[in-house]
Amino acid sequence: MQTPCPCVVTVHEIARTNWRLGRGRGPYQWLAHILNEEVFRRTIPKARAIIAVSTATRDELLRLYPVETQRVTVIHEAPERIFFEESTKTEREKVREQLGANEGYILSFATGDSRENVDVVLETYARVRARLRQKLVFCGANPNVRRELKERCQQRGIEDRVVVLDYVSDDVLTGLYGAADLYVDISYYEGFGLQACEAMARGIPVVASNIPAFIEVLGSAAKLVPVEDAEALAAAMTNILENQEEWQERSRLSRERAREFSWRRGGEETLAIYHAVANQKKTVGNSLGAGGPWGLGARD
């Protein structure tokens, strides 16, 4: 792909890896994969500089494509400021009442994305529901996903304990995070893991899969488990939800970890790269946590 001016490409995830690890591929997914891979394969060698949203994404990019290390800079994403605001008790109670989950709930996403591991979440919840007072809430579902989830819940006898929501705006999502007791994300693949990071900004304990991006981004603040290990997921969920001291500690760690990411810093580092490319300067990749190749490290 030819461009009339120097090109900077930001890589949020590697489509080839997402495709390889995903599930449930239909005709649309096949077409999107072919188009994405062809465009990406032609575009990435032409980029004067490349921004990767995590070291995990950078390493996967370097492994799969003929890209020079010095052209790639890691600039982390970050939760928006709105996700750092703390919900009041009244706000939490209102959200729970609207969901019919007055005793609390576990939040996850079910958008139909092939990387999502909804079956393991459902299987795990079916195992532990007798021990927990919390319901299970999914958001982001389209009508087809809602129908499939309803069938899966009926098969497991948990349809009365599961709430499925459509796509929600950020304003609504902040309230959903803030009223949740736990956020669960057992994805097969992520380029960064923004939703889990948003939940942590809200002070919610997180249980996630031990994939490279989550290991990097969530660190020890989250409880990480093997992606298809329902037994390990059940143990992690119950340990946090049945132990108030553990819950409080995970909540504290979540907020601390989320504060380490900054859109302001990321914006400044990104702008520096664009300026360098515009001035035909050679870019160099940064080391994780070094504040970028331009010495920027300002935080909010």
| pLDDT tens readout for residues 203-253 | 999 999 999 999 999 999 999 999 999 999 999 999 999 999 999 999 999
261-280 mean pLDDT:
93
131 and 98 in a common domain: yes
Q: What percent of the chain has pLDDT over 70?
A: 86
CA distances (Å), origin 46, targets 33, 41, 58, 95, 185? 20, 10, 17, 48, 35
- For residue 118, is pLDDT > 90? yes
128 and 246 in a common domain: yes
Is residue 81 packed enough to be buried (19+ CB in 10 Å), middle (13-18) or exposed (0-12)? Answer: exposed
Say if CB 138 and CB 149 are below 8 A apart: yes
Ramachandran region, residue 292 (left: φ > 0; alpha: ψ -120 to 50; beta: rest) = left
Name, of 35-39, 186-190, 295-299, the range with top average pLDDT: 186-190
CA distances (Å), origin 228, targets 84, 189, 205, 240, 277? 31, 12, 20, 19, 43
**248-262, pLDDT tens digit by residue?**
999 999 999 999 999
Q: What is the pLDDT of residue 295?
A: 37
105 and 46 in a common domain: no
> What is the three-class DSSP state of 3?
coil
Give the lowest-confidence range in 19-28, 91-100, 134-143: 19-28
**57-71, pLDDT tens digit by residue?**
999 999 999 899 999
Give the lowest-confidence range in 8-12, 35-39, 206-210, 249-253: 35-39
Q: What is the pLDDT of residue 42?
A: 84
105 and 48 in a common domain: no
Name, of 62-66, 193-197, 294-298, the range with top average pLDDT: 193-197
Residue 33 lies in a domain: yes
pLDDT-based confidence at 288, cuts 50/70/90?
very low
Give the lowest-confidence range in 39-43, 61-65, 88-92, 198-202: 39-43
User: Which of the two residues, 12 and 36, has the higher pLDDT score?
Assistant: 12
User: Which residue in 74, 56, 18 sits closest to 261, CA to CA?
Assistant: 74
Q: What is the pLDDT of residue 25?
A: 58
- The total number of structural domains that make up the chain: 2
Q: Torsion over CA of 120, 123, 126 and 132, rounded to 10 degrees?
A: -30
192 and 143 in a common domain: yes
Within the chain, where are the H helices?
15-21, 27-43, 55-64, 89-99, 118-128, 143-156, 170-179, 194-201, 212-217, 230-241, 244-258, 263-278
Alpha-carbon gap, residue 64 to 260, rounded angstroms: 29
182 and 34 in a common domain: no
pLDDT-based confidence at 91, cuts 50/70/90?
very high
204 and 141 in a common domain: yes
- For residue 294, is pLDDT > 60? no
Which residues are CB-neighbours of 90 under 8 A, at least 6 positions away? none
What CATH number has the domain bearing residue 149? Answer: 3.40.50.2000
pLDDT-based confidence at 15, cuts 50/70/90?
confident
- For residue 286, is pLDDT > 60? no
Say if CB 265 and CB 297 are below 8 A apart: yes
User: Which of the two residues, 284 and 21, has the higher pLDDT score?
Assistant: 21
182 and 52 in a common domain: no
User: Which of the two residues, 297 and 13, has the higher pLDDT score?
Assistant: 13
User: Which residue in 239, 261, 260, 259 sits closest to 250, CA to CA?
Assistant: 239
pLDDT-based confidence at 41, cuts 50/70/90?
confident
Which residues are CB-neighbours of 242 under 8 A, at least 6 positions away? 131, 132
- The residue range of the domain holding 53 is 8-78+262-278
141 and 37 in a common domain: no
User: Which of the two residues, 223 and 46, has the higher pLDDT score?
Assistant: 223
